[in-house]
Amino acid sequence: MKKHILPAIKLTALCIVFLTIVYPISIWAIAQLSPNQGKGDLIKHNNKTYYANIGQSFSTDQYFNSRPSAVDYNAAGSGGSNKGPSNEEYLKQIQARIDTILMKNPGIVKSDIPADLVTASGSGLDPNFSVQAAKIQVKRIAKIRNIDEVKINNLITQNTEKPVIGLFGPEKINVLQLNIALDQLSGK
């Protein structure tokens, strides 16, 4: 038994030192070499600082509305809703989101609404949405801001991120960056 306990204690001590001291310090040191010293992708707009890689809440009519969040956009508590498609409460929540989109964006039909505008991501903090999610909101924003729809569509095209090396993932748009560009377009 002594033959097994001593190596186990040594391994435990080694793991404690490595996993609580060496590894965290190594990751911290690498982060110091990155832009913003590991503090994330920061964007300053209208004297406020935002994280570009964390979803922000946009629900007013003059902006592109963001993807719903299961954690109310709280980065300290990332997580999904964990409700399945047979959960009645979840289905009511989805239907309420669909009704809101249809009310705010006259002229679109339910089948035009992409899933990412009515469902939260797995983390609840996805900063991106699909190109389709942006396009169905163009008429509303153009009317409220009195901007030509063509200019807003060009803005969508300029802010669309292509798949990695043209293969991995869908086209997507960072909602915060798109709304900042929209403010700049309309002179706010």
- How confident is the model over 28-80, as pLDDT tens digits? 999 888 877 777 778 888 888 888 888 888 888 899 999 988 888 887 778 77
Contacts of residue 146, defined as CB under 8 A and 6 or more positions apart, other chains included, come to none
- The model's pTM is 0.78
pLDDT (0 to 100) of residue 168? 86
Looking at per-residue pLDDT, the higher value among 83 and 161 belongs to: 161
What are the pLDDT digits (tens) for 86-98? 889 989 999 999 9
C-alpha 43/C-alpha 47 separation (Å) is: 10
Per-residue pLDDT at 81 exceeds 80: no
pLDDT-derived band at 121 (thresholds 50, 70, 90) equals confident
Work out the burial of residue 96: count CB atoms within 10 Å of its CB; fewer than 13 is exposed, 13-18 middle, 19 or more buried.
exposed
Q: What percent of the chain has pLDDT over 70?
A: 99
Question: Closest Cα to residue 133, out of 143, 123, 144, 141?
Answer: 141
Helix (H) or strand (E) holding 128: strand 128-129
Phi, psi dihedrals of residue 12, rounded to the nearest 5°: -60, -45
What are the pLDDT digits (tens) for 132-182? 999 999 999 999 999 999 999 999 999 999 988 878 888 999 999 999 999
Q: Which two tokens stand for residue 5?
A: 């306990």
pLDDT (0 to 100) of residue 130? 92
Query: How many degrees, rounded to 5, is the angle at CA 57 between CA 164 and CA 64?
Result: 70
Domain limits, the chain? 1-39, 40-185
Per-residue pLDDT at 2 exceeds 80: no
Half-sphere exposure of 185 (CA within 13 A, CB side): 24
Distances (CA, A) of 66 to 36, 82, 177: 25, 20, 11
pLDDT-derived band at 188 (thresholds 50, 70, 90) equals low
